[in-house]
Structure 1
Amino acid sequence: MDDVPTHRSIVLLSVGHGCVDVYQGAVAALVPFFISERSYSYAAASGVVLAASLLSSVAQPLFGAVTDRRALPWLLPVSTLIGGVGIALSGVAGSYPLTLAFVAVSGVGVAAYHPESARVARIASRGSHTAMGWFSLGGNIGFVVAPLMVAMVVTAGGLRLSPLLVVPALVGSVLCLPVVRALDGTSSSGLDPSVSGGGGSIDDRASFVRLALAVVCRSVVFVGLSAFISLYAQARTSGGAAAGTAALVLLYAGGAAGTVLGGNLAGRWGRVPAARRSYLIAAVAVAGVVLVPGPAFYLFVALAATALYVPFSLQITLGQDYLPSRVGTSSGIILGLTVSIGGLASPAIGAVADATSLRVALAPLIVMPLLSWLLFRTLPEPLSTTTERLNKVQEPPRVR
Structure 2
Amino acid sequence: MSSTAIQIKKQTGNELATTYRVLFIIGFCHLLNDTLQAVVPAMFPILEKSMSLSYTQIGIIGFALNMVSSVMQPLVGWYTDKKPMPYALPAALASSLCGMVLLAVAPSYGTVILSVMLIGIGSAVFHPEGSRVAFMAAGPKRGLAQSIYQVGGNSGQALAPLITALVLVPIGQRGAIWFVPVAACAVLLLTYIAKWYSAHLTIFTPKKKAGGQSNTKIGSKIKAALILILFIIFARSWYIACMTNFYAFYIIEKYDFSIKTSQIYLFAFLAAGALGTFFGGPLADRYGRKKVILFSLAGSAPLTLLLPFVPASVSLILLFIIGFILMSSFSVTVVYAQELVPGKVGTMAGLTVGLAFGMGAIGSVALGKLADVTSLATTIQIVGAMPFLGLLSLFLPSDKELAEWHSN
TM-score by length of 2: 0.87
Give how far 1:108 is off: 1.3
2:325 and 2:124 map into 1 onto residues whose CA distance is 25
List aligned pairs for 1:264-343, cutoff 5 A.
264-343=282-361
Query: Are 1:35 and 2:43 an aligned pair?
Result: no
Give how far 1:136 is off: 1.0
Give how far 1:25 is off: 2.2
Give 2:122's aligned amino acid: G
Cα shift readout 1:264-286 (whole Å, capped 9, x = no counterpart): 43244211011101211221222
Alignment partner, residue 188 of structure 1: 201
Give how far 1:5 is off: 8.4
The more displaced of 144-153 and 175-184 is: 144-153
Equivalent residue for 2:394, pick from 348, 373, 377: 377
Query: Are 1:365 and 2:383 an aligned pair?
Result: yes
Cα shift readout 1:105-129 (whole Å, capped 9, x = no counterpart): 2111101110111011100112522
Equivalent residue for 2:173, pick from 159, 170, 175: 159
Alignment partner, residue 273 of structure 2: 255
Query: Are 1:168 and 2:214 an aligned pair?
Result: no
Give 2:46's aligned amino acid: F
Equivalent residue for 1:141, pick from 152, 155, 162: 155
C-alpha change, 1:219 and 1:278, in structure 2 (3 Å) is same
1:62 and 1:334 map into 2 onto residues whose CA distance is 12
Give 1:117's aligned amino acid: G
The more displaced of 251-260 and 365-374 is: 365-374
Question: Is the CA contact (8 Å cut-off) linking 2:76 and 2:128 kept in structure 1?
Answer: yes
Q: Identity of paired residues, percent?
A: 28
1:293 and 1:275 map into 2 onto residues whose CA distance is 29
Give how far 1:259 is off: 1.0
2:362 and 2:140 map into 1 onto residues whose CA distance is 32
2:205 and 2:140 map into 1 onto residues whose CA distance is 10
Cα shift readout 1:27-61 (whole Å, capped 9, x = no counterpart): 22111111122211111111111111111111110
2:139 and 2:205 map into 1 onto residues whose CA distance is 9
Question: Is the CA contact (8 Å cut-off) linking 2:290 and 2:399 kept in structure 1?
Answer: no
C-alpha change, 1:163 and 1:151, in structure 2 (3 Å) is same
Give 1:256's aligned amino acid: A
Give 2:58's aligned amino acid: A
Give 1:101's aligned amino acid: L
Question: Is the CA contact (8 Å cut-off) linking 1:80 and 1:172 kept in structure 2?
Answer: yes
**Mind listing any 5+ residue stretches in structure 1 that lack a counterpart?**
387-400
1:145 and 1:175 map into 2 onto residues whose CA distance is 20
1:178 and 1:199 map into 2 onto residues whose CA distance is 33
List aligned pairs for 1:185-224, cutoff 5 A.
186-191=199-204, 193=206, 204-224=222-242
1:5 and 1:178 map into 2 onto residues whose CA distance is 18
**Mind listing any 5+ residue stretches in structure 2 that lack a counterpart?**
1-16
Give 1:302's aligned amino acid: F
Cα shift readout 1:44-80 (whole Å, capped 9, x = no counterpart): 1111111111111111100011111111111111112
Equivalent residue for 1:77, pick from 90, 96, 100: 90
2:202 and 2:140 map into 1 onto residues whose CA distance is 15
Give how far 1:14 is off: 0.4
1:232 and 1:373 map into 2 onto residues whose CA distance is 28
Residue 193 of structure 1 aligns to a residue whose secondary structure is coil
Residue 39 of structure 1 aligns to a residue whose secondary structure is coil
Give how far 1:216 is off: 1.3
Question: Is the CA contact (8 Å cut-off) linking 1:283 and 1:369 kept in structure 2?
Answer: yes
Give how far 1:260 is off: 2.0
Cα shift readout 1:200-225 (whole Å, capped 9, x = no counterpart): 89762221121111111111111111
Give 1:213's aligned amino acid: F
Alignment partner, residue 390 of structure 1: none
Give how far 1:12 is off: 0.5
List aligned pairs for 1:109-120, cutoff 5 A.
109-120=122-133
Alignment partner, residue 50 of structure 1: 63
Alignment partner, residue 132 of structure 1: 146
Residue 239 of structure 1 aligns to a residue whose secondary structure is coil
Question: Is the CA contact (8 Å cut-off) linking 2:51 and 2:109 kept in structure 1?
Answer: no
Equivalent pairs counted in the alignment come to 379
Residue 43 of structure 2 aligns to a residue whose secondary structure is helix
CA RMSD after TM alignment: 2.3
1:212 and 1:84 map into 2 onto residues whose CA distance is 31
Cα shift readout 1:364-398 (whole Å, capped 9, x = no counterpart): 21222111222x11111234659xxxxxxxxxxxx
C-alpha change, 1:20 and 1:327, in structure 2 (3 Å) is same
